[in-house]
Chain A
Amino acid sequence: MTALLELSDVNKDYRIGGFLDRSTLHAVKHVSFTLEEEKPEIFTVVGESGSGKTTTARMILGNETPTSGSLRFMGKDIAAIRSRKERLAFMAKVQPIFQNPFEAFNPLTTLDYYLFSTARRFLGLKDKAAVEAATDKSLQHVGLSLAEVRGRYSHELSGGQLQRIAVARALIPGPKLIVADEPVSMVDSSLRMSIVNLFRELRDNLGVSIIYITHDLSTAYYISDRVIIMHKGDVVEAGRAADVLGNPSHEYSRALRNAVLPPDPVIASAIIREKLRAF
């Protein structure tokens, strides 16, 4: 089996402070994991804010270089990408989805512009009909069509629809890996499931692997194959989703697991009453 993505002992440090009070922030410490090419999966990175999960995502996307360690995508070191051609080929295979769909799209630009320019740039299409056909095809994968999106602005659509369009845009170049950084945290819970179900379909029907970064443990449990839990830059627990989230062994993962309120009024109100007593 060949590795799609291989992180080995990746570290990222940031220098903070000025001339006199310089210190080093270890944002990501010794992170290693491998995604197989033949077996598309949803790989979830869980952690609270400041745990280093977004820095990890940025390194996988090539936006950030690791301080030490290596990230290899299909055998090639991501940090060694130099030429424009190589970079374009890499970007076609690894696509991002961002947290806030309302900020990801310029409010003064129609949404089809993003889709068309992605098709032109990555697929090298010149012909208008071919660009539109490619766009429509990827919109069909997310349950939309070009007719619904053409000429629309971001404020005309709901957060769930925008996030679907973001997924459609990421699908245009035919990626092997999608890095989704908190894709549902700005979408409300009733639409959340439609995005999460979409990831499942992408994995099963298109064979796309997904790195799903989140702090929402219930959707993580629902869709993930494997999970790592990060805390202050360290991976504190890793393994199959059912084991890690169902039976966490590390102290921090247990705390995280217990912080999730169940959607059941009897149990949830009992938890709050228990907290109240401790007050």
Chain B
Amino acid sequence: MLTVVEKTPVSVEAKPVLRVEGLKAYYQMNYFGVRREVRAVDDVSLTIKRNEIYGIAGESSSGKSSLIKTIAGAITPPLRVVEGSVKFDFGGKELDVYAQRPAMKAARWKHLSYVMQGSMNVLNPVRKVKHAFHDFAFKHMGLSEGEFRAKVESHLQRIGLDPRVLESYPHQLSGGMRQRLTIGLATVCEPEFIIADEPTTALDVLVQQDVLALIKGVQQRMGSSIIFVTHDMTVHAAIADRIGIVYAGRLVEEGLTLDVFQRPQHPYTAHLIASLPRIGDTRKRVALGGKPPNLADPPSGCRFHPRCPLAIDKCKTDNPPLEARNNGRVACWRAGEMEAA
């Protein structure tokens, strides 16, 4: 099993809030006696420290959403955890997501919350916003109705929303306000750990920066940790402390944001960074050839080898382990040559 203890400047002694070890989660289907297995999360190990924003990047169908769903314990068959563990540490108490179901249920929203992608889908269109807060958070707070209402109102004020929005229906609010509301909803209990799935993808460009600043601000004030998923590298650049790059269900690189952008160690990461368009630069960007691998039948060896410009024979047969290198981790047989290039 691959577990590497990192040393990074953010919070020195505190125990990590999340520890994922050798996690494998597969979609297992059995149609007419034919077993199909889609390896959406394949041997992922990572730790997330307190007070840290960890970004997960990767293309669609790379398994990044399956990974965070598995971490949240929010999976339903056919997706199953085959191996490995997900352990949280909430206030010194260890909590195994898949071994301690009842304790996990109590911890939800109070310690662990979730910002979902399409804000319109989260808020019930025929009920007022205040009911959403009541449904999600009331029973976790242990307050009376009046105290709860006051707490929600002051919380909304802090994130820049008028408390009057509680009396409105979701369709009366703009996309940016709804996304703020879902963030408000996820943070009202001041959880230690927040999972966010594409928090800004559905938003207009003009409000994107405000929402990102809001996420960062709330995180700093509460000192909680956030793991978020997006394929938009500029969002990672803006708020992530560390980035993990997922390719075909595997973590292929992890490192401090600045390192990943300035000195990518994996050829896939290098390509991702190099293909980003910038205003003021019209030089031709080379797009990655080939197609994303089919996770039901992934390529042998390193899963990136059919599209990799640096692939050698070894890459076709042997799967590179994720190893510590230059203050980060990388899974590539040719990571050494990447540096030289």
Contacts and interface: CB of A to CB of B under 8 A. Distances in A.
Whether both chains belong to one complex is answered with yes
Contact of B238 (A159, A257, A261): A261
Interface stretch (A33-41, A117-125, A186-194): A186-194
A12 interface: no
B316 interface: no
A227 B245 CA distance: 34
Contacts of A193: 275, 277, 285-287
Contacts, number: 135
A156 B280 CA distance: 37
Interface in A221-279: 221-223, 242, 245-246, 255-257, 259-266, 268-269, 271-272, 275-276, 279
A197 B205 contact: no
A275 B213 CA distance: 6
A279 B236 CA distance: 21
Contact of A48 (B205, B216, B271): B205
A217 B292 CA distance: 26
Closest A-B pairs by Cβ, 8 of them: A194-B287, A275-B213, A188-B231, A263-B276, A268-B238, A218-B277, A268-B237, A261-B234
Interface in A192-209: 193-194, 196-197, 200
Contacts of B30: none
Nearest to A195: B287
A188 B175 CA distance: 21
Q: What secondary structure prevails in chain A residues at the interface with B? A: helix
Interface of B: 59-61, 160, 175, 204-206, 208-210, 212-214, 216-217, 220, 231-239, 257-258, 261-262, 271-273, 275-282, 284-288, 291-292
Contact of B206 (A159, A256, A269, A279): A256
B206 A259 contact: yes
Q: How large is the interface on A (under 10, 10 to 19, 20 to 34, 35 or more residues)?
A: 35 or more
Contact of A262 (B213, B217, B231, B278): B278
A215 interface: yes
A138 interface: no
Contacts of A194: 287-288
Contacts of B237: 261-265, 268-269
A110 interface: no
A158 interface: yes
